[in-house]
Amino acid sequence: GIAESSRVLAVRGRILPSTLENVTLCAEVRQAQPDGSMEWRIVEGESALPRAAGQIERVYLQPAHARAYPEAVRALLQADLIVAGPGSFFTSVLPNLLVDSIRDAICASSAVRIYVCNVATQAGETDGFSVVDHLRKLDEHAAGAFPVALANSNYDVSRPPSGNSDWVTLPPGDPPRAYRVFTDDVVDSERPWRHDSAKLAGAVMSAYETLRAEKAAAE
């Protein structure tokens, strides 16, 4: 199972699923009609979501209250740093947070909790999304889980994001609710729709050290 997969993939650390139960990812999708009206549909299945014409408004699991994998809950409660993302927002990042006990464990953990925002939008999932749009949806699905976000600040690379994607930018003004947003150059200059792993690791650790120092000073 999971342990064998970790061995084959030469994973450093452990792979822990959110749940071992058989769940289906579902979404409420909104699509404007030619007459100006709005059509709402339910789409089922992770692979079907990016192909659904329209804007994904909400994702949820069926059954709704899947049991969390106990080792994952334990690891979250014992962690010093919890990072969500980058990855497909509606079909990879959010689904893990829809498992009740996983979300609760993240919120209860004393760890520094950072959401890493994608550098580029994903066709069929986050078309037109800014950093703030990602944070609003994150808040709607898992309020309080990740009070800190990390976003890319470098859009001056040799090539723009490929295909139907565009930069995920941070517009002027305050982020929603009490989110604190760190920005840094984390983009891969050769593949600007992706993060540079070394840059991202450095930015995450820089934010972590800053937050830990602030917490220590306040105690």
Q: Where along the chain do its domains lie? A: 2-218
Six-digit token string for 49: 């979501």
**E strand or H helix that includes residue 107:** helix 100-108
The residue assigned the tokens 């899947």 is 66
Question: Would you say residue 11 has pLDDT above 60?
Answer: no
* CATH number of this structure's domain 2-218: 3.40.50.10680
Q: What is the structure's pLDDT at 7?
A: 58
Q: What is the structure's pLDDT at 210?
A: 98
Average pLDDT over residues 190-208: 94
Residues 163, 174: Cα–Cα separation, whole Å? 30
Residues 138, 29: Cα–Cα separation, whole Å? 16
Range from 81-85, 119-123, 157-161, 188-192 carrying the lowest mean pLDDT:
157-161
The residue assigned the tokens 């929603």 is 176
Q: What is the structure's pLDDT at 33?
A: 83
Average pLDDT over residues 76-85: 96
Q: What is the structure's pLDDT at 3?
A: 60
Report the C-alpha dihedral over residues 207, 211, 214, 216, rounded to 10 degrees.
-130
Confidence (pTM): 0.91
